[in-house]
Amino acid sequence: MTERERYLETMLFGAPDRVPLAPGGGRRSTLAAWHEQGLPPDVRDYNQYAYRLVGGNLEWPRGGPGFPVNYRMIPMFAEKVIEERENSRVVQDWKGNICEIGKEFTLSHLRNAIDFCTRRWIKCPVENREDWEKMKARYDPNAPERLPADAAGLGRKLADRTWPVQVHFDGPFWQLREWLGFEALCTLFYDDPELLQDMLDFWRDYIARLLERVLEYVVPDCVHISEDMAYKGFSMISPAMARHCLLPVWRYWGEIVRGAGVPVYAMDSDGFVGELIPLWIEAGINACDPIEVAAGNDIAAFRREFGRRMAYRGGVDKRAMAKGGAVIEAEIERVRPVVESGGYIPSCDHGVPADVSWPNYVRYVELLARATGWL
């Protein structure tokens, strides 16, 4: 099977020759620790390297180009340091947020997921209707630079691809939080539902138009939405409120996705997602990730409850990976029945943290490779 066929057969509950091997990804601090623990600094693909270390000899997926879409604001805000403090600095990031970060971090940590970066929010870019009207101007879905320069040529190249292509966007809860901040967003549901609805409608139509532009050139294998809208035990807003305010947006996009023949419509949210999955299914979403175990997500229980209506990626407890030994062995055995029942690509349930040692990671890759048919 090609890499693309294997991915689709797995996520759509088909009959793959083996389940994709996707152990996870470490960030800068993780890789720094691994280099001290035995990972050669010149290794570019540490997952393939770990697989070879444990005796794996199957052809490693080569991948290929995707279809990049720039859905971020244009223009971005100027990144700048506003104040230097003894152990921290106050900065403005590209989104217009003013926040305090430790001196071990730079503005680049706020631009992309380079490492696990904590921050203290001070001010967000949208505080009133005037701010909102100005923010809208930064999101023209028809701006030429939002798609690749030779979108038609790239689309033709991807028509016969052997690797899966995913297009990613932020969901409505995620994006409104970026503009307003978490607390202001939550109170807006009660204090100014008219403004809230205007923002939701704007983001719905903006992403819908971008999807339409993408689909002129390529039908991706997956459209992936990020929301991050759950705490450790519950969703950040009630399921009833999510149904009223967010489900219409997810469903609207889902109709576009399904109408174009995109096979996988996926949702990403940290935290406990058990009470959100039924809403996602209603919206036409048929996959989700990363299924954080520490947040109380039980992938086996989800499979029993939701059956083949939902596929998953992630779900392997990073804490078990850090402990290694019999603990990670038991963890892989815990998820094995779900792997075998289909619709599941097992992986670390978030970014791989630095407390997962390189030897333990290699052992984890070995166990995962055996469970997915790569060894």
Domain C-terminal end among 124, 145, 162: 124
- Asked if residue 176 and residue 117 are part of one domain, the reply reads no
- Asked if residue 266 and residue 134 are part of one domain, the reply reads yes
Q: Tell me, what's the pLDDT at 141?
A: 98
- Asked if residue 235 and residue 110 are part of one domain, the reply reads no
Q: Tell me, what's the pLDDT at 251?
A: 98
Grade residue 117 by pLDDT with cuts at 50, 70 and 90.
confident
Domain extent at residue 99: 78-124
Q: Tell me, what's the pLDDT at 104?
A: 86
- Asked if residue 115 and residue 199 are part of one domain, the reply reads no
Q: Tell me, what's the pLDDT at 33?
A: 95
Grade residue 93 by pLDDT with cuts at 50, 70 and 90.
very high
Entry pTM: 0.95
Q: Tell me, what's the pLDDT at 110?
A: 84
- Asked if residue 115 and residue 254 are part of one domain, the reply reads no
Percent of the chain exceeding pLDDT 70 equals 100
Strands (E) located in 248-327: 264-268, 287-289, 311-316
The mean predicted confidence, pLDDT, of the chain is: 96
Q: Does residue 131 sit in helix, strand or coil?
A: helix
Strands (E) located in 160-296: 166-170, 222-226, 264-268, 287-289
- Asked if residue 275 and residue 314 are part of one domain, the reply reads yes
Q: Tell me, what's the pLDDT at 166?
A: 98
Q: What is the pLDDT of residues 6-63, one digit of tens each?
A: 999 999 999 999 999 999 998 889 999 999 999 999 999 999 999 999 999 999 999 9
Q: Tell me, what's the pLDDT at 27?
A: 87
Give me the CATH number covering residue 251.
3.20.20.210
- Asked if residue 84 and residue 139 are part of one domain, the reply reads no
Q: How many angstroms separate the CA atoms of 181 and 97, rounded?
A: 9
Mean pLDDT of 281-308: 97
Q: Does residue 214 sit in helix, strand or coil?
A: helix
Q: How would DSSP label each residue in 284-298?
A: T--EEE---GGGT--
- Asked if residue 220 and residue 85 are part of one domain, the reply reads no
- Asked if residue 133 and residue 99 are part of one domain, the reply reads no
Mean pLDDT of 262-289: 98
Q: What is the pLDDT of residues 152-196, one digit of tens each?
A: 999 999 999 999 999 999 999 999 999 999 999 999 999 999 999
- Asked if residue 243 and residue 104 are part of one domain, the reply reads no
- Asked if residue 215 and residue 107 are part of one domain, the reply reads no
Percent of the chain exceeding pLDDT 90 equals 94
Domain count, the chain: 2
Q: How many angstroms separate the CA atoms of 366 and 322, rounded?
A: 15
- C-alpha radius of gyration, the chain, whole number: 21
Residue 119 pLDDT greater than 90, yes or no: no
Residue 111 pLDDT greater than 90, yes or no: no
Strands (E) located in the chain: 80-84, 88-92, 98-102, 119-123, 166-170, 222-226, 264-268, 287-289, 311-316, 344-348
- Asked if residue 86 and residue 202 are part of one domain, the reply reads no
Mean pLDDT of 350-371: 96
Q: Tell me, what's the pLDDT at 173?
A: 98
Domain C-terminal end among 56, 89, 124: 124
Q: What is the pLDDT of residues 71-92, one digit of tens each?
A: 999 999 999 999 999 999 999 9
Q: Tell me, what's the pLDDT at 40?
A: 97
